[in-house]
Structure 1
């Protein structure tokens, strides 16, 4: 094990010169990526439809190829899942990531090519590891096991050759031999479908391993850690895994969960955020506490950034890296080696740095509250609820919020459903601190709260523990990368959850 981990760590460090190259020349690298994508796919169905062989500039590409959402590519994807080749990409697509980015009844199946696995997901993972070793050269990370709290894997009913599952499951299924060697537990357990029994088996097996790193969505990772403490009759995870040094998180903001992780782990470890979506591995923190994640520009993805006020227009405009500005909210548009072309991924991002380019995920295009012109995004709500929790000594498991519309009895407002791990010292004080934090963070919210004219004080419900998990279960979305949407501009979801509580 030590010989293998030593070899891998040396290879990771050797990658640093390549990282410096694309970090220092991102705009030029992006032009090369687009040229490679268009050239590779020129003889595919979509390549012929939009005459890829005639597209020699970014301007031509943007002028010729329209922006696509999932419904636009769904007919292509269905044909690909039935075994047709050369539709969106020029090599056979045998894997599809079942998107967990939505809790609706419909699933999205994102094509995952061999190129997107090798040149995007795995290469980006190596770069995260390389940067980690650059910042912590004496790390013993690879002397132990990595525990990934991932999703499930299913075989497509369409064909024995075509398979689909959560992205994490696809990555584990296709990871190189050394990745299998350094991971715990074995693949058959890691890819179990039934989440409750999976958590139990993960806990029973890994509680006795030398785990040095964790990765997964915070909510499900916390469930696993709590069960391990019960099994080992321990007060902190460091008592169980004394060599644990890194937790890699993504999928939702880590801000509301950090205090709870600090407490349950019991000693300082490093936290790194990554942005690894079903559509591609997009960015990762270079080092802990960085403001933003470094954008991966050489990894088979060409990026465009759509100002959010362009969304919904007939011909929405996008900008490239050289024209983005810090602090502006953009919808992310990508073209990839998986066969996505000017694809609107649905996430919104802001740049925190332009040298190098660093981003933070601020929410989803359809996950926000703007019922009264307050333009509340997930980044706002995550930080505000974390501040309120800190000031009232509360610990939060999860939350969601939606608008309360005007009625004869009251003005508008926001209704929050919060599942506390530890209730606030004073519930009323929590509401006021939440409101104050939102005003400080969001000037539009502050303006609408002026004298309660448009928005009244938030309504906050404290939910019984396990309510959000039960709601996810009703949607068939328990475990893996599934999560509760933080914000919604309509009340369907919040009414469903409240109805569960009243039963």
Structure 2
């Protein structure tokens, strides 16, 4: 009876929501214009609204001319005032929650405002849409016969004048409707535990007894959990623990380096993998088709989108364009205006459009996480693609990695230095390094030009990291947990030098 009622409700919602999505796919510009006008009107009496004359803005062009593009630094003072209890600064309704950004591994956190509107109309709406798309594509799904294993961060609430801050997953779990909590595992008590090293065995203990039918989390951390589950239960693969498992909803980092490992953990053809693109600032895109690598840009979550072509990013020629002017194949930095009071805000991510009817994207990297010390313009997407091809050619499993430049010194030429932690090492690391170098040249012509005859760059240097080097680095920074990610590429050697120090200390212990 309960399942029949649930299926009836889901079926009704599915049909209604699919109709809504068809509308924004057919009329994207009109919807985006309406969202911008609604946001401006709603916030017209805020401090920001009065400063930029929101009550007289009638068009996108007026909005773009009056309101400057900003980042966290420009908003920090206003956010701290809001955290201290002041209202009506950048958003008219009370901001009770602030998501501590996990987009950086620096010790200093960013506090991203989360309004009730963004909670309901963006983050929770996206969770429903994700299920909606999955069920529409898989009508025989039995996902509701079991529970969803959610792997988020920890609560670690930082209370201040009636507001609270924690990572986004904690805020979502803490405010989750009862029906969603009922269908999820682990329960809130375990899911919101602060100490990751205590939390991991607690999650394994609780979830291994449940009938888990879906997984949700960051691929790297979920893999750690699943390996722990196998070690605890003594099983050979995850389907022996949860035989009705059917889908992994993942996001946060590229899935490409982990594909083969997940196929071994979940050895069945019917397993689906659905990618999401969300951050503390909002939920942006969802994979809407089985076996696709493109994400549908969600246009009705109270977010207005703009983009900066990366060719001119952070230069005097920098140009900001609306969604209607994007071109396929170009790399863009994302600018958002949201229903939590972020106005023309740089989130630090880059995307490429693969389709414009409807708008579909691929996440290509971070504006700061790239290497362009020698004019090579290496972005995360290049690195992931080259690694995927290298792994197919020289079999191995990669657990984590990061890349940094080796700067020119005297007559010495530059290079890229890789720190890679393998869960299964290649038989021939020299063959791996050679294949990686060649594939990097094939996916990035600028890198190829700099490598030609070693004119600027010499072959990459590969360090095989000792076990748990990245884990210990995150632990040292108090960044253990489901939402924290390793920075893949950097223009400086800060991360690499810290990792090399931990690596050398662990070698001495041996």
Q: Taking structure 2 as the reference length, what is the TM-score of the superposition?
A: 0.96
| Alpha-carbon offset, residue 121 of structure 1 | 0.8
Question: Which one is further off, 134-143 or 8-17?
Answer: 8-17
Question: 1:310-364 CA distances to partner (integer Å, 9 max, x unpaired)?
Answer: 3324684211122101111111000000100000011111111111101111111
TM-score, normalised by the number of residues in structure 1: 0.98
How far apart in 1 are the matches of 2:39 and 2:492? Answer: 39
Secondary structure of 2:435's counterpart equals helix
CA distance in 1, matches of 2:179, 2:13: 13
Cα drift, residue 499 of structure 1: 0.7
Find 1:43's aligned residue among 42, 45, 70: 45
Instruction: Specify the alignment match of 2:373 in structure 1.
Output: 371
Count of residue pairs brought into register by the alignment: 502
Deviation digits for residues 192-213 of structure 1, max 9, x if unmatched? Answer: 1100111110001101101011
Structure 1 residue 453: Cα displacement: 0.9
CA distance in 1, matches of 2:290, 2:455: 42
Equivalent position of 1:434 in the other structure: 436
SS of match in other structure, 1:123: helix
2:393 to 391, 394, 402: 391
- Once residues 315 and 81 of structure 1 are traced to their aligned partners in structure 2, the CA distance between those partners, rounded to angstroms, is 36
Match of 2:283 in 1: 281
Is the 2:137–2:290 contact (alpha carbons within 8 Å) kept by the matching residues of 1?
no
3-state SS of paired residue (2:485): coil
Over residues 49-90 of structure 1, what are the superposed CA-to-partner deviations in whole Å (9 max), with x where a residue is unaligned? 101001110000000000010010101100110111111111
Aligned residue in 1 for 2:218: 217
Cα-Cα RMSD: 1.2
Residue 199 of structure 1 aligns with which residue?
Answer: 200
- Give yes or no for the alignment of 1:450 onto 2:445: no
Aligned residue for 2:508? none
> Partner residue of 1:248?
249
Q: Could you tell me which residue of structure 1 aligns to residue 139 of structure 2?
A: 137
Q: Distance in 2 between matches of 1:238 and 1:190?
A: 23
Gaps of 5+ in 1: none
SS in 2 for 1:18: helix
- How far 1:23 sits from its partner (Å)? 1.4
Matches within 5 A, 1:95-114: 95-114=97-116
State the Cα distance separating 1:11 from its structure 2 match: 3.6
1:77 aligns to what SS in structure 2? helix
Corresponding residue number in structure 1 for 2:296: 294
Residue 59 of structure 1, aligned match among 50, 58, 61: 61
Q: Determine whether 1:151 maps to 2:136.
A: no
Contact 1:155 1:162 in 2 (8 A): no
Residue of structure 1 equivalent to 2:422: 420
* 1:3 CA displacement: 4.1
Give the conservation status (yes or no) of the 8 Å contact 1:294–1:356: yes
Tell whether the 8 Å contact from 1:12 to 1:133 is kept in structure 2 after alignment.
no
Cα offset for 1:39?
A: 0.5
Residue 398 of structure 1: how far off its partner (Å) = 0.7
Q: CA offsets, 1:410-464, max 9 Å, x none?
A: 3111000000000002110000110111011001111111001111111001111
Aligned pairs for 1:170-189 within 5 A: 170-189=171-190
Distance 2:203 2:426 in 1: 32
Q: Following the alignment from structure 1 to structure 2, what is the Cα–Cα distance between the partners of residues 371 and 136?
A: 46
Distance in 1, Cα, partners of 2:240 & 2:268: 10
Q: What is the correspondence of 1:327-346 to structure 2 with a 5 Å cutoff?
A: 327-346=329-348
- Aligned residue for 1:152, secondary structure, equals coil
Q: CA deviation at 1:4?
A: 5.4
- 1:367 is displaced (CA, Å) by 0.4
User: Which segments of structure 1 move beyond 6 Å, counting only runs of 4 or more?
Assistant: none
The separation in 2 between residues aligned to 1:358 and 1:408, in whole angstroms, is 47
Contact 2:159 2:165 in 1 (8 A): no
**Cα gap change, 1:8/1:277 in structure 2, threshold over 3 Å: closer, same or farther?**
farther
Number of the residue aligned with 1:85: 87
Superimposed CA distance per residue, residues 164-206 of structure 1 (whole angstroms, 9 cap, x where no aligned partner): 1111111111121211111111101101110011111000110
CA displacement at 1:136 relative to structure 2: 0.6
Structure 2 unaligned segments of length 5 or more: list them. Answer: 506-510
Q: What is the 5 A alignment of 1:314-325?
A: 316-325=318-327
Look up the SS of the partner of 1:234 in the other structure: coil
Q: 1: CA distance between counterparts of 2:463 and 2:6?
A: 48
Secondary structure at 1:121 match in 2: helix
Give the deviation of 1:409 after TM superposition. Answer: 5.6
